[in-house]
Amino acid sequence: MRSGVVGLMPNHPRDITPDTARRLRENGFTGVTVRVPDPLEANREEYERAGQILHDGGITIAQANPAYEIIIDPNEEKRQLGIRGLQAACQCAAWLGAETTYVRPGSLNPAGAWTPHPENTHLRTITRLVDSLKHVVSAAENVGIPLAIEGGSVCSLDTAERVRDVIEAVGSPALRFNADPVNFVRSLDELWNMTSLINHLFDVCGRFVVCAHAKDITVRSNLPVSMYECLLGEGYCDHAVYLQRFEQVCPDGFMLIEHLPDEKVPAAKVNLDRFIREAGLRWRD
């Protein structure tokens, strides 16, 4: 596998410079996520220039991460806007030379895509998700860059089984899975037994995996229970098993450190390097 990061980057591709690539390399990364804040108004020249700068600096764009309207929204106008945004993001990914286009399945909670709502997993919501993705995969197929959809306990793809079922229902090899086991932890039993959770996730969805996120999770000593993300290496994620399972199904894929402020990324990379050695693996960078 290869090492990458969601971070150490400007907020818009137009602001990427050779120093951006240099900083990534100095921190031990060869891959990165590039934000696509404006897929429906993106400037081709800006995106192609950004992609070339990173390529020339020895950095692969592992993921293009677009902003778009929620594609499970019951408001049809908003849902169609989300579909068009994701379709446009596929073209942006091609301009960048990215390996995948990241997809958030979304939530009906207006607070954001990664927030809970009681109807997120209702049949009508999942049906809208499948229909939306069917409209988007053709754009991914046309540019030859797969979609990497993520899941998690608070969104519409809340279990490994639901991830599998939706990918199979869409029925296109252009729709793949972005692995992130921390997202699926919903109880203390799962937190204390993350090895089992990781193995189950890969047993069910491993054949779809195209990319992965690396982070960690721990718990506060309070009532009711409150779990939260922490510095990679300071929580309960079984990183060695996670790295081994990812290597088995996606040996040339990127493991991307995410959800950390830039100043904490170097410490996370040191810990991830230690875990990959403990797993008997090595980076292919």
Two tokens at 94? Answer: 């091609």
- What is the rounded distance in angstroms from the CA atom of residue 228 to the CA atom of residue 279? 25
pTM of the model: 0.96
- Specify whether the CB–CB gap between 33 and 102 falls below 8 A: yes
Q: What is the CATH number of domain 2-278?
A: 3.20.20.150
Two tokens at 50? Answer: 């950004």
59 to 191, 200, 221, 283: CA distances (angstroms): 34, 32, 41, 14
- Per-residue pLDDT for the chain (285 aa), expressed as one digit of tens each? 999 999 999 999 999 999 999 999 999 999 999 999 999 999 999 999 999 999 999 999 999 999 999 999 999 999 999 999 999 999 999 999 999 999 999 999 999 999 999 999 999 999 999 999 999 999 999 999 999 999 999 999 999 999 999 999 999 999 999 999 999 999 999 999 999 999 999 999 999 999 999 999 999 988 888 999 999 999 999 999 999 999 999 999 999 999 999 999 999 999 999 999 999 999 997
